[in-house]
Amino acid sequence: MTLSGDIVQEYINRFPKTPNLTLARKIHKENSMVFRNIEVARTAVRYSRGALGKDNRKSKNINSILTPKFSIPEGDNINYEPYIISDELKTGALLYDIHFPYHDKKVLDAALTYIYNSHPDFMLLVGDIADFHQISFFERDPRKKKIVQELKMLEYFFAELRLNFPGVEIIYKLGNHEERYDRFIMQKAPELFDIEQIQLKNILNLEKHNIALVDNKRIIRYCHLNIIHGHEYKFNISNPVNPARGIFLRTHKITTAGHFHQASEHNETSINGDKITCWSAGCLCDLHPQWMPLNKWGHGFQTIKCNDKGMWQLTNHKIINGEVI
């Protein structure tokens, strides 16, 4: 017998002739912390007095009667599981920060030619492939390309990628610049946000080109490598040393990112002897934009190779004067 069962039995012994409902009201009034309402107390009284019938007494016990039942709705949560790339894919290429239409055509062509000749199994477009200047928070130059032109340029780029890399798994992870698109619609026309035809993945025909989309700031994971764009943390993770060290201080795991438009590497050894390396990659966009013509940026991209033993190597390629080094 539980505490609540003892309480009910004590009242029945004290007031054996009191009707069930009257006794239940008294029990609830004097023991409201145990019996959440009168009906719960009344059911417990009827159970103890054998008034529920044989079948009910077999299917119920005092604990099931007195245990609270919670009806909690499902949470409105997004999927934040990492996007996993199979380790059966042995070679890959990672491109960051193209910023169409403010890309560097010569540099992008050099990167894609190098990647084409290396025959990758997968290709990652890790954020800020688009720029969406005209719907940004910042001051906008009305002379720059309109969003319709930018979207057409992006769709053409994805079509060209699929044409030239027909058997390659291509994955597009959204960065902070792509997130401008959804944010603009949510702010300016929220009633249209659920219309499939205006969703970015459909405008760009990603399904037609067999390109997977990774949104909601989800991590991409390949073997033990975490791949992010770099905007996933609320506060800027760059620091006076280099972006790679900033990435390490936030993640404490083997991680690579773009976003900072700089190639860098940082190495640490944990107390258990684990070797942790973090990288940041160069960009493929104009190095002297109107809003910040002087900066520390550099052109580049990354490649990765994995052997049959699961050991892999990431290379930070720089592009100088149109040449991959």
pLDDT in tens, 83-94: 999 999 999 999
pLDDT for res 144: 79
Enter the DSSP assignment of 253: S
The sheet that has 275-280: what strands, in order across it? Answer: 83-85, 220-222, 225-227, 255-257, 275-280, 264-269
Q: What is the mean pLDDT of residues 24-28?
A: 91
Asked whether the predicted pLDDT for residue 272 surpasses 80, the reply is yes
Token pair listed for 200? 């970015």
* Range 204-216 average pLDDT: 95
Contact criterion met (CB below 8 Å) for 263 and 298:
yes
Reply yes or no on whether the pLDDT at 118 is more than 80.
Answer: yes
What is the average pLDDT across 107-125?
A: 97
pLDDT band at 78 (very low <50, low <70, confident <90, very high): confident
pLDDT band at 81 (very low <50, low <70, confident <90, very high): very high
d(CA 232, CA 179): 12
Which residue in the block uniquely carries the two structure tokens 């009305």? 142
Which residue did the predictor score with more confidence, 165 or 310? 165
CB 305 within 8 A of CB 290: no
| Alpha carbon distance 57, 34 (integer Å) | 21
Q: State the distance between the two ends of the chain, measured CA to CA, in whole angstroms.
A: 78
Say which amino acid occupies 71.
S
Q: What is the pLDDT of residues 142-165, one digit of tens each?
A: 777 788 999 999 999 999 999 999
Side chain identity at 66, as an amino acid letter? L
The predicted pLDDT at position 71 comes to 64
pLDDT at 122: 98
Average pLDDT of the residues in 101-113: 96
| Cis? peptide before 101, omega within 30° of 0 | yes
**Reported confidence tier of residue 40, pLDDT bands at 50, 70, 90:** confident
Annotated domain spans of the chain: 3-66, 83-324
The hierarchical CATH code for the domain 83-324 is 3.60.21.10
The residue-averaged pLDDT of 44-71 equals: 66
Query: What does DSSP assign to residue 299?
Result: B
Q: What is the pLDDT of residue 129?
A: 97
pLDDT at 36: 84
pLDDT band of residue 2 (cuts 50, 70, 90) is: low
Taking all residues of the chain, what is their mean pLDDT, rounded to a whole number?
89
Residue located via tokens 């780029």: 157
Q: What's the confidence (pLDDT) of residue 235?
A: 64
Residue 72 has pLDDT above 80, yes or no: no
